[in-house]
Every structure is written in C-alpha cells, then in structure tokens.
C-alpha cells in the first residue's frame, strides 16, 4: 500500500477510525471503497473525500454478503463504544461474526488480503499487565459486554481458521483505546466524554474513584500501524497489539483535559459499571519489531488536536 493503485475495501469506513484510515489510504494513492450502514458512522466524517475520484462510499450492512473486486480489505465495521454496542447486542455479535464470515468469504473469492480490527477487549479483565498477544484473556461470556468481547474473539477465531484452512493472507490488529477528532460526542467513551463535558462546563463524570488506568493512542498513530501491518509479508498474521503503552489513571486524564480546555468543571464520581476493566495496557513489543512502529503523538498533543475538533462541532 505504498503509493500503489491497490483497490482497498474499508468496512465501517464512515466511523471514527475508518474515516481517518480512508483518508490516509486515498493519500497514498489507493482506490478506496468504503462500506458502512451508518449505524454509528456519519457521512460528514467523509465529506472531504466524497468528490475524490479515488474514493467511493456504499451503504451496506456487512451481515449480508458483498460482491466487489478488491485487493485488500480492512474490516472495521462494528459499533465500538459500550453505549452503542449494548444498544442492540444481538446485532453487535452478528456484525462481528456474520460480518467476519462475509468479509473472509469475499477475501477468499477475490484472493484479497484482509485485516481485522480486533480489540484489547479480547483480554477481558486481565490478570497480567501489560498484556502480550500470547495472553488468552479473562472474559465473561454472559455479561453485558460479552456481545462485543466474545463477538470479536469469535471473529479472530474465524480469521485464523480461514488462514489455516484456506491459506488466506490475514492480519489481526488488537486495538487499544484510541482517540482523536471525529469520535462521537455522545458515545460515552472516556476521552470524548471528558472533553465535551469540560467544553460545556458540565461536571466531569468519573466512574469509580478514577484510579483505574487506561492507555490512549492517538488516531494517526493507529492508522499508521494498521497500514504497516497490512504491508507485512504473507504469513505474518499477528495478532499484534496496537496502542500506546503509556498508562494514565482516569483521574489524571480528567485533570489534563481540565487544564488544556481551561475549564472550571467540577469532578463527579459515580458507581463503576459491571465488567469495567481495572487496568489496560498494551505490550507493543511485536509492533515495534515487526512493524517498526511505535506511537509518536503524546497524550497532551493528541488531546489538544481533539479538543480543537470538538470545540468546532459541539
Ligand atoms: N476506537 C477505539 O478505541 C477502538 C478500540 C478497539 C477496537 N476498535 C475497533 O475499531 C473499529 C472501528 O471503531 P471506531 O472507534 O471507529 O467505531 P465507530 O463506531 O466510529 O465505527 C464503526 C463503524 O462501523 C459501522 N458499522 C457498524 N455495524 C455495521 C454493519 N453491520 N455493517 C456496516 N457497517 C457497520 C458504523 O456505522 C461505523 O461507521 C471497530 O471494529 C472497533 O471494534 C476501536
């Protein structure tokens, strides 16, 4: 994907990460076909690409088969925030599982390489920190988050079975918390929540005592890693953790957002939701050695850019 005329399918391309990925792929010369059912994605995320001759947008739900000719597929379609994926949990599992089957079937038919946007949620509430890719996870199979976590785990299983059984060129990226412009203002994710609350002068809501830790990757770093992973040699499947290993407590994040926005919002502590992981930190050793990648954008810099975006849209 280095300046080639590859035809690339991006599912979920109208969403937060997908829209940045489409933009970067068009920038390096790819012909990009974006497929989205607009469940959480928005056309306006792609407004700047719609008139580009190398870009095409199709409304389609990936739980149904798709017949197109492409060289590579990035499978990102899936609601990613608990508010959205718990709204219709059966559809969430269908999107992960039926969607993966449909996209893998397409990749097999047209001999395309295919990358799955998996998630750190496959590790569940982990017993070891940071989490290496060899860790199998500790996931509740019957909880409110299971539709997402288990759906993504099953999608990984399908990817690896298509690799073993059909010799598909698969790549699995396990994405950790990523933030940046075009996140949904109301999707309940911690970074967008805090920024929107701070900009509006509302109280910043912290679940638990704020001592739970998270690592936050800026979207440009994430897109760079996914594109590097797609260009690795056939047989390099991953899974590869992609995220920023620098840990912050949720309380530290709130304080940084307050400082950068200059907001005088108060902090409000609420009860921790069930199955909320205490700590989440990627071990990015494989990404460093195999992709020559590591995150470059600091939390402070990334937050500045994200705050700039939200200040213009809310
Ligand atoms: N943002 C993160 O921090 C993060 C972390 C881990 C994994 N991921 C994964 O990355 C991918 C993109 O996440 P995001 O943050 O951009 O979320 P998002 O909700 O902004 O984007 C998901 C996109 O998928 C589309 N979609 C949902 N169901 C669909 C279906 N059945 N058919 C077609 N399109 C469908 C939505 O309309 C949306 O445009 C997801 O698969 C998510 O699980 C994201």
Digit-by-digit pLDDT tens for the chain (314 residues) are 444 679 999 999 999 999 999 999 999 999 999 999 999 999 999 999 999 999 999 999 999 999 999 999 999 999 998 899 999 999 999 999 999 999 999 999 999 999 999 999 999 988 998 999 999 999 999 999 999 999 999 999 999 999 999 999 999 999 999 999 999 988 888 999 999 999 999 999 999 999 988 889 999 999 999 999 999 999 999 999 999 999 999 999 999 999 999 999 999 999 987 666 677 789 999 999 999 999 999 999 999 999 999 999 98
Give me the sign of the Cα torsion angle 176, 182, 187, 191: positive
Q: Please report the pLDDT score of residue 165 as a whole number.
A: 98
Q: What lines the ligand 1 site, CB under 6 Å?
A: 11-12, 14-18, 36-41, 61-63, 76-80, 95, 99, 117, 119, 175, 177-178
What is each CA distance from 223 to 43, 205, 282, in whole angstroms? Answer: 19, 29, 16
pLDDT of residue 256: 97
Q: What is the pLDDT of residue 280?
A: 76
**Ligand 1 mutation target, pool 12, 23, 85, 183, most atoms within 8 A of CB:** 12
Is the pTM value of this prediction over 0.85? yes
Contact of 222 with 214, CB cutoff 8 Å: no
DSSP class of 172: E
Predicted pLDDT of residue 275 = 64
Determine contact, residues 82/145, Cβ cutoff 8 Å: yes
- Determine the pLDDT at residue 277: 67
Give the pLDDT of residue 278: 72
Q: Whose CA is nearest to atom 2 of ligand 1?
A: 178
Nearest CA to ligand 1 atom 32: 61
Query: What is the atom index within ligand 1 of the atom nearest the CA of 183?
Result: 20
Q: Which residues contact 85 (CB under 8 A, 6 or more apart)?
A: 78, 79, 92, 147, 148
Give the bridge partners for 74, in sequence order. Answer: 10, 115
pLDDT computed for residue 3 by the predictor: 47
**Are the CB atoms for 115 and 230 separated by under 8 Å?**
yes
Tell me if 145 sits within 8 A of 123, measured CB to CB: no
Q: Give me the residues paired with residue 174 across strands.
A: 118, 241
Which residue puts its alpha carbon closest to atom 9 of ligand 1? 117
User: What does the pLDDT read at residue 273?
Assistant: 76
Catalytic residues: 148
- Ligand 1 pocket test, pick from 19, 79, 147 with the greatest ligand atom count within 8 Å of Cβ, gives 79
Q: How far is the CA of 66 from the centre of ligand 1 (A)?
A: 18
Residue 273 has which token pair?
A: 């939701």
């Amino acid at each position: 994907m280095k300046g080639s005329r590859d035809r690339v399918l991006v599912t979920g391309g109208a969403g937060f990460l997908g829209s940045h990925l489409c933009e970067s792929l068009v920038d390096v010369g790819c012909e990009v076909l974006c497929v989205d059912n607009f469940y959480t994605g928005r056309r306006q995320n792609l407004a700047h690409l719609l008139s580009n001759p190398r870009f095409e947008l199709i409304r389609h739900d990936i739980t149904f088969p798709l017949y197109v000719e492409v060289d590579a597929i990035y499978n990102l379609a899936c609601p990613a925030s608990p508010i959205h994926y718990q709204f219709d949990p059966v559809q969430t599992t269908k999107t992960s599982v039926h969607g993966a089957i449909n996209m893998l079937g397409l990749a097999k038919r047209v001999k395309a390489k295919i990358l799955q946007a998996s998630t750190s949620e496959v590790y569940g509430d982990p017993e070891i920190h940071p989490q290496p890719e060899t860790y199998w996870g500790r996931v509740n199979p019957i909880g409110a988050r299971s539709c997402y976590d288990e759906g993504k785990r099953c999608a990984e299983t399908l990817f690896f079975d298509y690799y073993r059984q059909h010799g598909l060129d698969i790549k699995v990226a396990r994405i950790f918390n990523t933030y940046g412009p075009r996140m949904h203002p109301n999707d309940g994710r911690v970074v967008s929540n805090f920024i929107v609350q701070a900009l509006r002068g509302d109280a910043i809501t912290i679940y638990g005592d704020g001592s739970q830790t998270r690592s936050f990757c800026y979207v440009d770093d994430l897109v760079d890693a996914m594109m590097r992973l797609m260009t690795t040699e056939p047989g390099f499947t991953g899974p590869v953790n992609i995220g920023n290993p620098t840990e912050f407590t949720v309380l530290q994040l709130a304080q940084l957002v307050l400082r950068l926005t200059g907001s005088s919002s108060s902090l409000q502590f609420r009860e921790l939701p069930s199955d909320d992981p205490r700590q989440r930190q990627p071990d990015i050793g494989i990404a460093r050695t195999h992709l020559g990648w590591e995150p470059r954008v600091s939390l402070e810099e990334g937050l500045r850019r994200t705050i700039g975006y939200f200040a213009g849209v809310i």
